[in-house]
Amino acid sequence: MKLAKITAALVAAGLALPALAATDAATLEKLAARLEKLEARNAELEKQVKALKGESEEIAKGLDSPRLSENEPDLTVRLKAVEKDQLNMKKAQKIAEGLDGIKVGASLATVMQHANGLPKNVDGGSSQLNYRADVSVELPLKPLGDIEHKLFAHLRMGQGLGMNAAFTNLGHFASAPNALAFRASGLDPDSSVTILGQAWYQAAIPLPFLGFKPYSRETLEVTFGKMDIFGFFDQNAAAGDESKQFLNSVFVHNPLLDAGGEVGVDANGFQPGFIASYLNYFNKVEPWRLSVGVFGTGDKGANYQRSLSSPLLMVQAEKQLKLFGGLTGNYRLYGWNRSQGADYDGNLNKHTGIGASIDQRIGDGIKVFARYGKLVKGELAFNQAATAGAEFSGSYWGRGADAIGVAGAWLQSGKAYRGSTAFGYLEDEPSDSSLARSVAYSYTPRGAENLAEIYYRYRLTPQFELTPDFQYITNGGANPDAKSVKVFAIRANIAY
């Protein structure tokens, strides 16, 4: 039995060998074909790896060089472009950070004026044209702990005196019907010199000193340098900018300080000074401030030829109030003292005066203002003055950026001046009207000079405004025989 089984198994195995051999050959052929494909694919991958390695080396070389060439890989070019854009953005950011807080303003104003009622031969003429250009820069400095401080500079240039020369020669109290007129240091008419009008430093010190600034509600401001005194005293939101509002100086500032000459500025309208100001804003809605200023005045004190040995002392208290349903108003009271003020006759005496400046919004588009000044000690041609007026927004007639301003002034002649003899001009009346001229004569001053002004500010663009202006002056220089004078003007102002 065992022998028979073994014999059968051998026979079966012998019969299966040919089939197995045939199967192994087919499999080997398939495996060989796949192996060839794998080897070809591997060779192709090796080529691609070499190519990528070469391109990577080219990219690395390209990135190491700051220059671009036409043979560089596209990826290198794109990476360098991204790097360049990023560097440009960083540069722009650094420039922006460096300019952060810097404020720059520039303006160009031109005024054409014509006056009716002036004597024939008074110097200055009846028609004048002038321009003035201003550039200001405010530069913040790096804080000193909690103390913020800055520098301010103001450049000014211009030509033409407007109608001011004629009114000065006539002896009018309101001797500057064109407060925009400027000619550096009174030079000849052909000169148009740029001057540094203002250059001052200011530090804002939070109080209490060395306290925690976020909790501070008090500030001490210290300012010194060459400045415009009216940027710190006698301010007024409705009547304080001759480039946009009233043209006559009696409405731009307190008449006693400006037209009366009490500030004692230099030939360009500026002076050296020192100001200390305390600001209290515990009530943020209605803050208040106290200011004290000492300024160089006179022929030498205002132009740095002499120290502050005969200064102008100014003190001011101001309060902001919310009235008429929460509308903003500013109320200022001030006083001044000059140890050597010039009287109307040229003599130097001690001068003391008081004044007030008020502006209040009484409607969405109405601002009213008033000023008052009185010379308590000293003798000017006019010792007391009051001005009042209003500005109406064009929103009431569909021109929201336009405005109409109206104002009146009363300049009361001084008691001593009324007891003196002044000089005016009268026109003679020859048979030939072409020979008409004016002759000087003496008169006794009395009463007050009166002035009215109205303007319409028309906005062409946010930077360009045209303003027709009309002024009417009676009893000029407290002369009861003086003719009424009408002054027509148009002002073009471009501001940035």
pLDDT at position 107 is 96
Q: What is the average pLDDT value for the chain, to the nearest integer?
A: 86
In a domain, 63, yes or no: yes
CATH of the domain at 183: 2.40.160.10
* Residues 291 and 397 both lie in one domain: yes
In a domain, 183, yes or no: yes
* Residues 39 and 147 both lie in one domain: no
* Residues 289 and 433 both lie in one domain: yes
Cα end-to-end span (Å), the chain = 124
* Residues 88 and 111 both lie in one domain: no
Burial class (CB in 10 A: 0-12, 13-18, 19+), 355: buried
Last residue of a domain, one of 78, 100, 122: 100
Q: To the nearest whole percent, how much of the chain has pLDDT over 90?
A: 58
* Residues 111 and 185 both lie in one domain: yes
Q: How confident is the model at residue 64 (pLDDT cuts 50, 70, 90)?
A: low
448-471 tens-digit pLDDT: 999 999 999 999 999 999 999 999
Mean per-residue pLDDT, 413-428 = 79
Burial class (CB in 10 A: 0-12, 13-18, 19+), 75: middle
* Residues 29 and 40 both lie in one domain: yes
Higher-pLDDT residue of 42 and 90 is 42
Euclidean distance between CA atoms 180 and 129, whole angstroms: 11
Contact 271, 263 (CB under 8 A): yes
Token readout for 342 is: 């010039």
Last residue of a domain, one of 79, 100, 121: 100
pLDDT at position 54 is 67
Q: Which domain holds residue 353?
A: 101-495
pLDDT at position 80 is 66
pLDDT at position 423 is 73
* Residues 348 and 379 both lie in one domain: yes
* Residues 89 and 167 both lie in one domain: no
Which of left, alpha, beta for 271 (phi over 0: left; psi -120 to 50: alpha)?
beta
- Residue 127, strand partner residues: 114
Highest mean pLDDT among 93-107, 320-334, 439-453: 320-334
* Residues 466 and 397 both lie in one domain: yes
The count of domains in the chain is 2
* Residues 81 and 179 both lie in one domain: no
Q: How confident is the model at residue 191 (pLDDT cuts 50, 70, 90)?
A: confident
